[in-house]
Structure 1
Amino acid sequence: MLNILVVGDLILDEYLFCDCLRISPEAPVPVINPKYNKLSLGGCANVALNIKKLGANVDVLSVLGNDECANFIKKMLKENEINYEIISDKNKKSSKKTRIFGQNQQIVRIDVESCEVISDDMADCLFKNIEDKNYDAIVFSDYDKGVLSPYLVKKIISFAKNKNILTLADPKKDFLKFKDIDILTPNYKEATEFLGLFDDEDDDNLSKKLILMKEKLNIKYPLITLGKNGIALYNNNTLTRHLALAKEVFDVTGAGDSVISSLAYFLSRKKDINEAIKLANKAAAIVVSKIGSYAVSIDEINEFSEDDIYKKQVKNISEFVQKNKNKKIVFTNGCFDLLHLGHLSYLRKAKQLGDLLVIGLNSDESIKRLKGLARPINDINTRLAMLCALEFIDAVIVFSDDTPLEIIKELKPDILVKGADYKDKEIVGSNFAKQTCLIDFVDGYSSTNIINKIKETQC
């Protein structure tokens, strides 16, 4: 079984659920009526709990105050069979975050804590508890509460390097103390504070920032978690984006913990970095669908379906027609290999013609027959996901024939849309549509032109 160490700030999370039905006459604030509360492990304890639930042995290394909050955290760690080496500091106030919810919406958070950085002597005392141990991975969970001093972090990273132990950190403010670590997992806000502002939707801009992070900190895998935009990794001179998989977002608490926990576990299992990120993305999607911190199991990750990415795909046309019999259906088709401005303009105009825009999408095999073996550039799943992500597209139907004739026969769209270049040409399926409409393209845009430009830049 894997053995993983988690070092960082321990926090007790309290969730107070209330009824909130009116605004106070004394001030513009909600009046709440507490119903029940829930206590759970937070901070590095939540990271440890996540790793434990995935199936590894976990040790926790930290500092707490000598108070009731500390006692409760230790009790919960013990109940969850998580080993710990915790120094009690009578001058420290253990961290507790109380989140107050009204009608399942967070209203306010109350933090009780002290955040003084631990002394080097205390760091040495902590380190003595692990210097004779072997771990598969060491995770630093930094909540800026004082446990992860630069001195302690440097000492543990050096220890890990000598023993060839994987190291990961979820940083808060001070990135530089994690120099020489294997993996850093900042979110967008944290990354901008260290690297400067950047457009996370621009690949070139994002790549430069990830390269800068790698160079400044000498890390193996620079990555940034981007919330709804997923996770970005720069590796082997290539930027890889892993799309967010969340179906519904109720509470983002603990999402970062689930990501670093999953990465530590799956990389320790010798998974490839991209595969580990895919699995971590699934864990994060599950966590944000819950209220409060939540530890995800291996079974939940394995059972998580990414099908919602393709939720606009239609496989039963007759059922779709029956369900939307009172809607004005617009249909068009294409390969949509490399989405560009021309596609977006064309599809937006098509949508404006009716209630529902349905796209017929050529399969990979169909495109190869039409355009040659070098195409498509993007496979069917990628092209399907991109079309499903566009808000003005209501449904996508994949077809393997050379033309969408069979789809049009069954769909019988109110309007069949083609490009203006079809003027005076026979349009397949037009006799099964109530109306045919031609739409002008934006000049200068095509997938072929983009591919040719890329080829020219490589010459």
Structure 2
Amino acid sequence: MAVPAIEHDGQRLTDELPRRLAGRHLRVAVVGDAIVDGWLSGRCQRLCREAPAPVVDITERSFTLGGAANTAANLAALGARVRLVSAVGADPPGESLLREAEQADVDTTGTVVHPARATVAKYRVCAGGQVLLRFDEGVDQPPLDRAATAELVRRLREAVADCDAVLVCDYGTGVLGGAVRAALRRLRERLPLLVVDAHEPGDWAELAPDVVTPNAEEAASVLGTAIGGDSAQRLATLERHRDDLFAATGASTVVVTLDRDGAALLSRDHPTHRTWARPVPDHHTAGAGDTFVAALTVAAGTGLPLTTSVELAQAAADVVVHRPGTAVCDTEQLAHRLGSYRDAPVAHGQLADLVAEHRTAGRRIVFTNGCFDVLHRGHVAYLNQAKQLGDVLVVAVNDDTSVARLKGPDRPVNTAADRAAVLAALSCVDHVTVFDEDTPVDLLRRLRPDVYAKGGDYTPEMLPETPVVREFGGEVRILDYVPDHSTSAVIDRIRTTPAAATPGRTR
């Protein structure tokens, strides 16, 4: 049975959205490589005598779920009903993994315990907040034998029989072989949503996944080309090779995770959408990809637009990277993160100080403004483009009185505080402020941005702000116009749509 799509107002990135998604209890089968993540932490104050190697006095040990098991735990923490289809050894790490998974509300009846197999484990040795060493166990193993594979396939069929989404996590440890892919291929027409997170996404192309989520290195491998340089260069390379990515992965949507640079959403029918991450030290990023793909699956599987889904996924990943070790983002943590934007608007004086700090640091300032009443895909697309014109995006929002003057007495639908909070939750937006004039010319004179961007079917000469911006040496840029996505059109559709109707599922 298909999960009904979230209604119009459920697409807004507010603290209520994670709770609404959790209430749907999406049924997800996670198929893939379950791993134990170990963290050994202590003090390092000397080198050993035998070699120039640091000596770590271990004071703390922790063992958590990793790989497909961590993805399953993140799904469960976000309200999904999850069954883990995998294989582990009949060994202490395997026993620990199953016990931890069950405590995380993950159904492990789909997991095969194999007496001749070692559970994959990855241990990190840390001191002073730095990872000094990682050592792995059980990685180089032969594929599962015929009997274990047959049992895994049987449990796979049971797990996907009534699921809403299947998430494949293939990290090359020998659990997922040709027989598992063949079984999923036979079941493909029954699967409402198939997401693939794999080191070699091309191996799954014959299944025509709905979404694949490679990182930049994996995308480069499947393309057979380098994806290097800064974030803009990497994004440009992905843009040039987008059709090759679709062909090589068999997917209709590719989400390339770019570590500290966020992620790029490439789909066949829409412009590329990018998210921006809150950078942290690299040693804090373990498991962030698992959280990202879990949140993406929950959102897309429940019918949210893919742009909203990747923004939600980025927010969830940003939660876990600010915590040590391999962490999980639950519904309330994600709601708190999104709810923190309720006080998003910045006063003009404080904003001027912030912009001055950015400019001193050599950052390029982009400014845009609008009513942004009932945020829609056209808004999101043009804000995403605006961010890519510089380093810092400032969005000025008309207050309620000026919206009523500009749009009519029945507007705005949402208050300025609500509109600002939703805008601030977009990863491309750095600062939001509210102004009460019909045009932001006074604010432009005060901030003197490098670029003034507007979305729509304008020309620079039509804008009263253009002379002001050019007066202080700024640049005016008109961004792409997305037809049939005006706020008025969205409001008209909401008003004329019967209350019982819901949009179709996003595939």
TM-score (norm 2): 0.65
| Other-structure match for 2:86 | 62
Matched, 1:103 2:128: yes
CA distance in 1, matches of 2:450, 2:247: 50
Structure with max Cα Rg: 1
Q: CA deviation at 1:204?
A: 4.6
Cα pair distance change 1:174/1:241, threshold 3 Å: closer
| Other-structure match for 1:353 | none
Given the alignment, which residue of 423, 438, 447 partners 2:477?
Answer: 447
CA distance in 1, matches of 2:396, 2:95: 62
| Other-structure match for 2:454 | none
CA distance in 2, matches of 1:403, 1:177: 51
Q: CA deviation at 1:109?
A: 0.6
What CA deviation, in whole Å up to 9, does each residue of 1:349-373 have, x standing for no partner? xxxxxxxxx99987679xx99xx99
CA distance in 1, matches of 2:241, 2:170: 21
What CA deviation, in whole Å up to 9, does each residue of 1:328-366 have, x standing for no partner? 9xxx9996688799x98xx9xxxxxxxxxx99987679x
What CA deviation, in whole Å up to 9, does each residue of 1:40-78 have, x standing for no partner? 111111111111111122111111222222122122223
Given the alignment, which residue of 28, 33, 38 partners 1:4?
Answer: 28
What CA deviation, in whole Å up to 9, does each residue of 1:106-142 have, x standing for no partner? 1101111143222454322211124243211111111
Letter in 2 for 1:201: A
CA distance in 2, matches of 1:101, 1:243: 30
| Contact 2:296–2:309 (CA under 8 A) maintained in structure 1 | yes
| Contact 1:7–1:61 (CA under 8 A) maintained in structure 2 | yes
1:430-441 to 2 correspondences below 5 Å: none
| Contact 1:246–1:286 (CA under 8 A) maintained in structure 2 | no
CA distance in 1, matches of 2:288, 2:300: 18
| Other-structure match for 1:304 | 337
Taking only the aligned residue pairs, the percentage that are identical comes to: 19
Matched, 1:175 2:202: yes
CA distance in 1, matches of 2:171, 2:261: 23
- Structure with greater helix share of residues: 2
Given the alignment, which residue of 112, 116, 123 partners 1:87?
Answer: 112
Using the TM superposition, name which of 240-249 and 226-235 deviates more.
240-249
| Contact 2:42–2:127 (CA under 8 A) maintained in structure 1 | yes
CA distance in 1, matches of 2:339, 2:76: 25
Higher relative contact order (CA 8 A, sep 6+): 2
| Contact 1:246–1:285 (CA under 8 A) maintained in structure 2 | yes
Matched, 1:48 2:86: no
2:232 is paired with a residue whose SS is: coil
CA distance in 2, matches of 1:42, 1:306: 28
CA distance in 1, matches of 2:273, 2:249: 21
What CA deviation, in whole Å up to 9, does each residue of 1:371-427 have, x standing for no partner? x99xxxxx9969x987959xxxxx99967465765898xx8x9xx9999xxxxxxxx
Matched, 1:209 2:209: no
CA distance in 1, matches of 2:67, 2:43: 27
2:260 is paired with a residue whose SS is: helix
Q: CA RMSD in A?
A: 4.5
| Other-structure match for 1:73 | 97
| Other-structure match for 2:501 | none
What CA deviation, in whole Å up to 9, does each residue of 1:146-165 have, x standing for no partner? 01113312312431x23133
| Other-structure match for 1:239 | 271
Given the alignment, which residue of 58, 65, 83 partners 1:34?
Answer: 58
Aligned length: 390
CA distance in 2, matches of 1:418, 1:8: 48
Given the alignment, which residue of 110, 119, 137 partners 1:112?
Answer: 137
| Other-structure match for 2:262 | 230
Cα pair distance change 1:168/1:334, threshold 3 Å: closer
CA distance in 1, matches of 2:71, 2:218: 19
1:366-445 to 2 correspondences below 5 Å: 400=437
Cα pair distance change 1:17/1:81, threshold 3 Å: same
Given the alignment, which residue of 270, 275, 291 partners 2:308?
Answer: 275
Using the TM superposition, name which of 24-33 and 101-110 deviates more.
24-33
1:39 is paired with a residue whose SS is: strand
Letter in 2 for 1:91: A
Matched, 1:124 2:157: no
CA distance in 2, matches of 1:269, 1:175: 26
Matched, 1:17 2:41: yes
Letter in 2 for 1:148: L
Given the alignment, which residue of 289, 292, 295 partners 1:259?
Answer: 292
Using the TM superposition, name which of 78-87 and 32-41 deviates more.
78-87
| Other-structure match for 2:491 | none
CA distance in 2, matches of 1:150, 1:24: 46
Q: CA deviation at 1:236?
A: 4.1
CA distance in 1, matches of 2:126, 2:253: 37
Q: CA deviation at 1:89?
A: 2.7
Letter in 2 for 1:42: G
CA distance in 2, matches of 1:135, 1:304: 29
Gaps of 5+ in 2: 1-24, 370-384, 408-418, 452-470, 482-507
1:186-201 to 2 correspondences below 5 Å: 186-195=214-223, 196-198=225-227, 201=232
Q: CA deviation at 1:257?
A: 0.6
CA distance in 1, matches of 2:184, 2:427: 42
| Contact 1:32–1:102 (CA under 8 A) maintained in structure 2 | yes
| Other-structure match for 2:318 | 285
Cα pair distance change 1:27/1:75, threshold 3 Å: same
CA distance in 2, matches of 1:143, 1:78: 22
CA distance in 1, matches of 2:427, 2:167: 34
CA distance in 1, matches of 2:241, 2:255: 10
Cα pair distance change 1:181/1:165, threshold 3 Å: same
| Other-structure match for 1:165 | 192
Cα pair distance change 1:305/1:174, threshold 3 Å: closer
CA distance in 2, matches of 1:59, 1:255: 21
Cα pair distance change 1:238/1:205, threshold 3 Å: farther
CA distance in 1, matches of 2:266, 2:214: 14
1:447 is paired with a residue whose SS is: strand
Gaps of 5+ in 1: 348-357, 374-378, 390-394, 420-437, 453-459
2:39 is paired with a residue whose SS is: strand
| Contact 2:72–2:294 (CA under 8 A) maintained in structure 1 | yes
